[in-house]
Homo-oligomer: A and B are copies of this chain.
Amino acid sequence: MKARIKIMLKSGVLDPQGAAIKQALNNIGFESVTGVRQGKVIELEVDGPNKSEVRSEIESMCNKMLANTVIENFEIEVF
């Protein structure tokens, strides 16, 4: 089963990488860009009996290893 996890910094957390991208875009002429946040996306291939079990396993992966839940939020999609 295919799944996708999107991991973003929580909204109050400073995102220097996003700020750098915004600055660089503004510098090369894209002045309409007023905000940028960068995150990670992880696409997984997981063996499992059904969507809900796969989802709960991925939730456990995120909490144990993939995301730093102190500063990051994650969203899971299972296809």
Give A residues with C-beta under 8 Å from B: 6, 8, 18, 21, 24-25, 28, 30, 32-48, 54, 57, 60-61, 64-66
Contacts and interface: CB of A to CB of B under 8 A. Distances in A.
Please tell me how many copies of the chain the complex holds: 2
Given A65-B24, A65-B25, A66-B21, A57 B39 contact: no
A29 B44 CA distance: 15
A34 B45 contact: yes
> 10 closest Cβ contacts across the A-B interface?
A35-B45, A32-B47, A39-B41, A37-B43, A41-B41, A34-B45, A32-B46, A38-B42, A33-B46, A36-B44
A40 B25 CA distance: 17
B43 A41 contact: no
